[in-house]
């Protein structure tokens, strides 16, 4: 822009601010820091911040800001040119135990034991695809950072480390090709999910029965884990304070939510067919949001022959943020019951849920995400937010912006009619077959 | 009589309890949710396992004379396999996986050398019995296990010897992380005391996620022990969670951020001294995030208590509420007037309410009993949890933003880690 | 940690790390513990799993005015909670301490990482400096 600027950041984001400025080409940017937090402070408390010192430099804050805008530039600050970034040598040689420690200490792992990615194992992994080792698979950034790019061989290293078998590799490549990281930088500690559809589920023996979401099958466990390792190694994600700022973190990030759909037990079309793919195509679909919760205890769930799963879901969603969508993970028994209740298509269910999951405008406005992400959109005239923000406080509006906010996938072992639901938004579906 | 969904469970459990030839009849699944007509049709039809007419089979079970095998008595020792396995590293990885001894991810192979190193981290003897565990009390006979057997699982998980006393403390409780219920329930453990810093546990940014060796491997060891030390985690037999739970991979290991908390640490609240190293256990449905809560967008100070209260609405009354609060929230609650956890719990008891009508429609939520229940009508408004101790609070997080997570879990017990050093 | 150490993390090579005293000591310690067994321990070669970071194009900073007297400073918020209140206090500070400075408050459009060409064009035309509150 060419205008002298003094960026202000709270001290909680010091490392992030300095590193990101450097990554974007201004390593000497004159960043000033304030105490933390600013959010939740009264005007009087904030005034004290402004009149006090920068907690990082110790200098009076306002003097530092004025200096940032007026002190002449140094030679370093005037520099231009290109700086390349090194990730170190292409291989490491040591004993197996030392290498395990080395990979862990260098941030290449999720802090659990890995299979060491020797040349031999990486070559074996790459036999799982017809794509060449040096072919660029995609680019990934775990947030608002310049993206890293990566090739088939680099993705194979993470797949080996995760414990994947070569036949799982096309799925890992399909995920890598989307550039979506499962370790996102936000302070919100986002969770990520994938749905796997097509004959590959049975070929690779995914578990979509009892314990479908848990540690009971190798493809479910290792492909989920691989996404996290790729996000660290290929996308430079997951560095606390730099590329990961989740205040509490999310347990779901270890293996992510891996859902192989129980297509045969579903009364509806499979998820990928809904997205326009053919039944026999192998597809992986990715989601992002806050997490997954059990549905069986919400209102409407009581033990009689008329469990109203639609009311149950609607009650459950009242604590979700409408900023993300709702992904119902329905045990086949739940899906069968919903069909019996009259929802012979998914769209009918979503329409009902959209109309019957409601909130008052007052409650809506009091939510954090509404204020942060949707109010600015309302100001730009985007619907439905523009209309919602004009309504009186006691008006009743939908909890979610549109029927397309909802999705449903069928998975589970039918030991009981229990659903789970994710406060998750659909992202993208990609072909696994393309990566075979 | 058992529905077909539980066939494996029924057969294996009968065998474990001493009646391997028990005459079980199976019905179609489910029975729950069926009308009277539909259930009668089951009885009128065939056992889906044997193919025989069901009621004839039931009458037969009750009248046919016992065979010689069915009359047997005596003791049968179940085999657990050879004490060691020898092969290449790659083959051993595959062997452990194929034999159901892992969570399907790479392990550190538990060699004699590594197990010996792990055993050095405790003063307890290798063959000392640590405890007994079962995937469900009363449903499966518990298994017992020694310090050495716990060490093997700790090595497999990737833990270093420093973590071993904490892992032994978990094992000593006999609490399985893979409870067999169809509800896919989960466990959490809160860690207090100087051990958190000694082990360099993460209670800052990303505390609940994959950013620290202690947090990750201690949690994973719990899952591996829950499979290997009690025969747990066998889908369809000792694990019946219809959909399973993602949390079971590593469980919830929550070191408290004691230094940034305005309140006494959790273990001190439970009567322990600050310098004691304590691990406290919780059990229940799940953990969820609080960012959707009403009131968090209010300026200038978010109404954290209002959001917390709103967020527990779909929780089951059977378990309590465990809040995991970023230090910014704990301090922010102080700005709102909640200087102690008790003040907060009292407010939540009063302000988190349900109608009797709603409770009646919720699974795993019950109505109050006793004299005061006599006057309740469907429209009566009652506390969701009448007791303040249904609410628990732990402070954890890196203060990048004032967020909280919440678990539909009840506190069970606290044990000493120091005891296992 | 100071800025220099932090910046070195960006380009820190594991090869440099391997040569560092810290890892060398760690290796020595492990070797000592293994004793004579270290002679027979097999070594493996494993691949670096990292992707390819983009090169950094350095952006020269904008030249500074000699003083802010009589200048217009835009106070820009990226929308994080509390930013508006904070920038308001800054404008109060200028009124009290540097009254010849004019401040103009603006909320940047879109998400916190989004560009706002309209706003930046306005600032370029009408302002001489920016103080931007950045958060999430």
Tell me the chain A residues in contact with residue C64 when contact means C-beta distances shorter than 8 Å: 4, 69-73
B303 pLDDT above the threshold of 80: yes
* Chain C, nearest residue to B300 by Cα: C82
Chain C nearest CA to A320, separation (Å): 20
pLDDT, average across residues A274-287? 98
Q: What is the pLDDT confidence band of residue A293, given thresholds at 50, 70 and 90?
A: very high
- What are the strands, taking DSSP E only, across A32-173? 32-34, 81-83, 91-95, 136-140, 148-151
Chain A nearest CA to C90, separation (Å): 6
Instruction: Tell me if C136 and B401 make a contact (CB, 8 A cut-off).
Output: yes
Chain B nearest CA to C59, separation (Å): 28
Chain A, window 163-222: residues with a beta carbon less than 8 angstroms from a chain C beta carbon = 186-187
With H, G, I as helix, E, B as strand and everything else as coil, classify residue C62: coil
Tell me the chain B residues in contact with residue A43 when contact means C-beta distances shorter than 8 Å: 300
Task: State pLDDT tens for residues A294-339.
Answer: 988 888 777 555 678 888 888 889 889 999 999 999 999 999 999 9
pLDDT value at residue A305: 54
Q: The complex's ipTM?
A: 0.93
Q: Is A367 within 8 Å of chain B by CB?
A: yes
pLDDT value at residue C22: 30
Q: Where do runs of H (alpha helix) occur along chain C?
A: 3-10, 14-19, 21-34, 83-97, 117-126
pLDDT value at residue C3: 60
Instruction: Tell me if C50 and A92 make a contact (CB, 8 A cut-off).
Output: no
pLDDT value at residue C66: 92
* Chain B, nearest residue to C85 by Cα: B300
Task: State pLDDT tens for residues A42-53.
Answer: 999 999 999 999
Taking the C-alpha atoms of residue A177 and residue A179, their distance in angstroms, rounded to an integer, is 5
pLDDT, average across residues C109-117? 81
| Higher per-residue confidence, A301 vs A288 | A288
The b/e string for B34-58 (b: 16+ C-beta within 10 A; e otherwise) is beeeeeeebeeebbebeeeebeebb
Q: Where are the domains of chain A?
A: 8-78, 96-357+399-435
| All partners of chain B with 3 or more CB pairs under 8 angstroms | A, C
pLDDT value at residue C8: 55
B128, two tokens: 């000392």
| Higher per-residue confidence, A314 vs B80 | A314
Taking the C-alpha atoms of residue B148 and residue B154, their distance in angstroms, rounded to an integer, is 10
Give me the DSSP letters along A217-241: -HHHHHHHHHHHHHHHHTT----BT
Are B143 and B117 contacting, i.e. CB atoms less than 8 angstroms apart? no
With H, G, I as helix, E, B as strand and everything else as coil, classify residue B358: helix
Q: Is A207 within 8 Å of chain B by CB?
A: yes
Q: What is the pLDDT confidence band of residue C40, given thresholds at 50, 70 and 90?
A: low
B85 pLDDT above the threshold of 50: yes
Task: State pLDDT tens for residues A153-188.
Answer: 999 999 999 999 999 999 999 999 999 999 999 999
pLDDT, average across residues C27-53? 65
Instruction: Tell me if A26 and C42 make a contact (CB, 8 A cut-off).
Output: no
Residue in B296, B301, B403 closest to A367 by CB: B296
* Residues constituting chain B: 421
Q: What is the pTM of this model?
A: 0.90
Instruction: Tell me if A144 and C45 make a contact (CB, 8 A cut-off).
Output: no
Chain A nearest CA to C111, separation (Å): 7
C14 pLDDT above the threshold of 70: no
Q: Where do runs of H (alpha helix) occur along B341-384?
A: 341-351, 356-360
Are B322 and B409 contacting, i.e. CB atoms less than 8 angstroms apart? yes
Instruction: Tell me if A5 and C52 make a contact (CB, 8 A cut-off).
Output: no
Q: What is the pLDDT confidence band of residue A229, given thresholds at 50, 70 and 90?
A: very high
List CB contacts of B169: < 8 A, sequence separation 6 or more.
Answer: B279, B415, B416, B417, B419, B420
Chain C nearest CA to B302, separation (Å): 10
Are B369 and B231 contacting, i.e. CB atoms less than 8 angstroms apart? no
Q: What is the pLDDT confidence band of residue A139, given thresholds at 50, 70 and 90?
A: very high
Cα-to-chain-centroid distance, residue B281: 9
Long-range CB contacts (within 8 A, 24+) of B334-339? B334/B262, B335/A40, B335/B301, B336/B301, B336/B303, B336/B304, B336/B305, B338/B305, B339/B262
Task: State pLDDT tens for residues B321-330.
Answer: 999 999 999 9
Tell me the C-alpha to C-alpha distance, in Å, between residue A259 and each of A56, A194, A214, B246.
45, 6, 10, 10
Nearest CA among B335, B420, B348, B354 for reference residue B391: B348
* Chain A, nearest residue to B299 by Cα: A40
Best of A159, A246, A251, A296 to disrupt the B interface (most B CBs within 10 Å) is: A251
C102: phi then psi, degrees, rounded to nearest 5:
-100, 130
Instruction: Tell me if C82 and B300 make a contact (CB, 8 A cut-off).
Output: yes
Instruction: Tell me if B300 and C136 make a contact (CB, 8 A cut-off).
Output: no
Tell me the chain B residues in contact with residue A320 when contact means C-beta distances shorter than 8 Å: 292
Tell me the C-alpha to C-alpha distance, in Å, between residue A97 and each of B108, B156, C31, C44.
9, 13, 12, 10
C18 pLDDT above the threshold of 80: no
C20 pLDDT above the threshold of 90: no
Chain B nearest CA to A158, separation (Å): 13
pLDDT value at residue A300: 76
Q: Which of A196-200, B77-81, C55-59 has the lowest mean pLDDT?
A: B77-81
pLDDT value at residue C34: 42
Instruction: Tell me if B30 and A414 make a contact (CB, 8 A cut-off).
Output: yes
Residue in A26, A70, A83 closest to C55 by CB: A83
Task: State pLDDT tens for residues A76-109.
Answer: 999 999 999 889 999 999 999 999 999 999 999 9
Q: Which of A231-240, A336-345, B134-143, C110-119 has the lowest mean pLDDT?
A: C110-119
Q: Is A128 within 8 Å of chain B by CB?
A: no
Cα-to-chain-centroid distance, residue A121: 29
Chain A nearest CA to C6, separation (Å): 7
Instruction: Tell me if A294 and B215 make a contact (CB, 8 A cut-off).
Output: no
Give me the DSSP letters along A118-150: BHHHHHHHHTT-SS-TT-EEEEE-SSSSPPEEE
Q: Is C99 within 8 Å of chain B by CB?
A: no
Chain A nearest CA to C91, separation (Å): 10
* Chain C, nearest residue to A86 by Cα: C11
Q: Is A312 within 8 Å of chain C by CB?
A: no
Q: Is A247 within 8 Å of chain C by CB?
A: no
C38 pLDDT above the threshold of 60: no
């Amino acid at each position: 822009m060419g205008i002298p600027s003094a960026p202000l950041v709270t001290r909680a984001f010091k490392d992030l601010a300095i590193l990101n400025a450097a990554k974007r080409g201004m390593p000497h940017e004159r960043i000033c820091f304030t105490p933390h937090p600013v959010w939740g402070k009264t005007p009087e408390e904030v005034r004290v911040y402004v009149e006090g010192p920068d907690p990082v430099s110790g200098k009076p804050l306002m003097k530092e800001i004025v200096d940032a805008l007026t002190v002449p530039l140094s030679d370093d600050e005037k520099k231009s040119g290109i700086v390349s970034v090194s990730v170190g040598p292409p291989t490491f040689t040591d004993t197996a135990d030392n290498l395990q420690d080395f990979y862990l200490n260098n941030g290449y792992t999720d802090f659990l034991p890995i299979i060491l990615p020797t040349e031999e194992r990486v070559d074996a992994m790459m036999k799982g695809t017809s794509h060449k080792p040096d072919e660029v698979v995609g680019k990934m950034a775990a947030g608002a950072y310049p993206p890293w790019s990566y090739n088939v061989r680099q993705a194979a290293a993470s797949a080996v480390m995760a414990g994947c078998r070569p036949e799982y590799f096309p799925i890992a490549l399909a995920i890598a090709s989307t550039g979506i990281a499962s370790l996102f930088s936000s302070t919100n500690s986002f969770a990520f999910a994938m749905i796997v559809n097509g004959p590959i589920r049975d070929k690779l023996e995914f578990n979509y029965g009892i314990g479908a979401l848990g540690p009971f099958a190798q493809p479910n466990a290792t492909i989920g884990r691989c996404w996290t390792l790729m996000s660290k190694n290929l996308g430079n994600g997951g560095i606390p304070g730099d590329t990961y700022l989740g205040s509490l973190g999310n347990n779901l990030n270890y293996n992510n939510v891996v859902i192989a759909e129980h297509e045969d037990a579903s009364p509806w079309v499979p998820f990928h067919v809904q997205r326009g793919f053919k039944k026999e195509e192998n597809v992986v679909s990715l989601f992002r949001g806050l997490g997954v919760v059990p549905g069986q205890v919400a209102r409407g769930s009581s033990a009689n022959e008329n469990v109203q799963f639609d009311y149950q879901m609607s009650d459950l969603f009242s604590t979700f943020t409408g900023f993300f969508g709702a992904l119902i993970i329905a045990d086949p028994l739940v899906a069968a019951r919903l069909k019996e209740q009259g929802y012979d298509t998914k769209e009918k269910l979503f329409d009902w849920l959209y109309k019957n999951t409601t909130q008052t405008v007052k409650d809506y406005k009091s939510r954090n995400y509404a204020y942060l992400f949707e109010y600015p959109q309302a100001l730009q005239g985007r619907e439905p937010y523009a209309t919602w923000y004009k309504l009186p406080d006691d008006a009743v509006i939908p909890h979610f912006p549109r029927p397309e906010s909802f999705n449903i996938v069928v998975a589970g072992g039918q030991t009981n009619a229990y659903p789970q639901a994710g406060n998750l938004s659909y992202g993208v579906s990609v072909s696994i077959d393309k990566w075979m | 009589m058992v529905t077909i969904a539980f066939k494996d469970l029924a057969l294996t459990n009968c065998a474990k309890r001493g009646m391997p030839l028990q005459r079980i009849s199976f019905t179609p699944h489910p029975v729950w949710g069926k009308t009277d007509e539909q259930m009668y049709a089951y009885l009128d039809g065939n056992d889906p396992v044997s193919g025989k007419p069901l009621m004839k089979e039931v009458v037969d079970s009750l009248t046919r004379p016992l065979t010689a095998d069915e009359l047997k008595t005596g003791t049968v020792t179940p085999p657990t396999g050879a004490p060691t396995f020898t092969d290449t590293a790659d083959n051993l990885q595959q062997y452990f996986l194929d034999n159901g001894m892992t969570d399907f991810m790479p392990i550190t192979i538990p060699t004699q050398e590594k197990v010996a190193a792990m055993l050095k981290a405790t003063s307890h003897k290798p063959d000392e019995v640590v405890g007994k565990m079962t995937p469900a009390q009363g449903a499966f006979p518990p298994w017992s296990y020694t310090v050495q057997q716990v060490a093997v699982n700790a090595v497999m998980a990737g833990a270093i010897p420093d973590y071993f006393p904490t892992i032994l403390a978990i094992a000593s409780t006999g609490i399985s992380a893979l409870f067999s219920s169809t509800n896919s329930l989960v466990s959490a453990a809160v860690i207090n005391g100087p051990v958190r810093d000694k082990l360099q546990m993460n209670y800052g940014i990303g505390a609940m996620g994959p950013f620290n060796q202690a947090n990750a491997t201690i949690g994973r060891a719990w899952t591996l022990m829950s499979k290997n030390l009690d025969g747990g985690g066998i889908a369809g037999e000792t694990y019946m969670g219809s959909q399973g739970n993602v949390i079971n991979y590593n469980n919830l290991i929550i070191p408290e951020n004691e230094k940034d908390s305005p309140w006494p640490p959790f273990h001190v609240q439970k009567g322990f001294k600050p310098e004691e190293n304590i691990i406290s256990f919780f059990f229940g449905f799940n953990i969820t995030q609080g960012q959707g809560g009403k009131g968090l967008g209010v300026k200038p100070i978010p109404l954290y208590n209002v959001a917390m209260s709103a967020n527990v609405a779909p929780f089951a009354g059977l378990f309590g509420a465990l809040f995991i609060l970023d230090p910014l929230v704990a301090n922010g609650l102080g700005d709102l007037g909640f200087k102690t956890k008790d003040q907060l719990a009292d407010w939540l008891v009063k302000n988190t309410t349900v109608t009797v009508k709603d409770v009646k429609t919720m699974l795993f939520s019950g109505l109050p009993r006793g004299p005061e229940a006599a006057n309740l009508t469907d429209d009566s408004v009652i506390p969701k949890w009448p007791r303040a101790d249904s609410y628990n609070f732990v402070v954890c997080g890196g203060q990048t933003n004032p967020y909280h997570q919440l678990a539909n879990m009840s506190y069970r017990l606290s044990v000493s880690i120091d005891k296992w050093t | 940690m100071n800025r220099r150490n932090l910046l070195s993390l960006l380009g820190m090579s594991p090869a440099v790390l391997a040569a560092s005293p810290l890892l060398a000591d760690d290796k020595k310690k492990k070797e000592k513990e293994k004793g004579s067994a270290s002679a027979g321990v097999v070594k493996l070669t494993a691949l670096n799993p990292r992707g390819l970071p983009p090169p950094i194009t350095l952006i020269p900073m904008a030249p500074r005015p000699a003083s802010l007297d009589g200048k217009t400073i835009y106070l820009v918020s990226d929308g994080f909670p509390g930013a508006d209140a904070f920038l308001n206090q800054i404008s109060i500070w200028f009124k009290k301490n540097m009254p010849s400075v004019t401040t103009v408050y603006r909320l940047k459009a879109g998400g916190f990482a989004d560009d706002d060409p309209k706003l930046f064009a306005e600032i370029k035309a009408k302002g001489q400096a920016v103080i931007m509150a950045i958060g999430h």
